[in-house]
Structure 1
Amino acid sequence: MHTNLKKSHSCLLVIIMMGLLFNIHLVYLLIVGVIYGCSVSHLYKTERIKANQQNNLIHFGTATFNHKGKMTTINEKGKEILFADSSETMDLWALIDEYGLPIAQEERPSVVTLRNKQPMQNQMIGLKHKTNGQEKWLLVHTNPVLSKKSRIDEVVIVFTEVSFLLQYRNEMQNRNNYLKHLSLTDGLTGIPNRRYFEDYLHDIWEDMRKQKKPMTLIMLDIDYFKKFNDTYGHIEGDICLKKIAKILEKTVHDLGKVFRYGGEEFAVILPNTDVHTSKKLAAMLEQAVEDLKIPHSVSTDRAYVTVSTGATTFVPQDMENVEKYVQSADNQLYEAKRNRRQAC
Structure 2
Amino acid sequence: MSQHTDVVVIGGGQAGLAAGYHLRRQKMGFVILDAQASPGGAWQHVWDSLHLFSPAAFSSLPGRLMPAQPGEEYPDADHVVAYLSDYEKRYDLPVQRQVQVVGVHDDGRLLRVETTSGTWHARAVISATGTWWRPFLPAVPGREDFEGRQLHTVSYRRPQDFAGQRVIVVGGGNSGAQIASELAYDTELIWATQRPPRYLADDIDGRALFDAATARRRALNEGRNDSKGIASLGDIVAVPPVREARDAGLLKASPMFVRLVRDGVIWADGTREPADAVIWCTGFRSALSHLSPLGLRGPRGHIATQGTRSVQEPRLHLLGYGDWTGPASATLIGVGRPARDAAREIAGLLGVAT
TMscore range, shorter length? under 0.3
Higher relative contact order, chain-length normalized (CA < 8 Å, sep 6+): 2
TM-score of the aligned structures, taking structure 1 as reference length: 0.19
Looking at secondary structure, tell me which structure has more helix per residue.
Answer: 1
Query: Rg: which structure is higher?
Result: 1
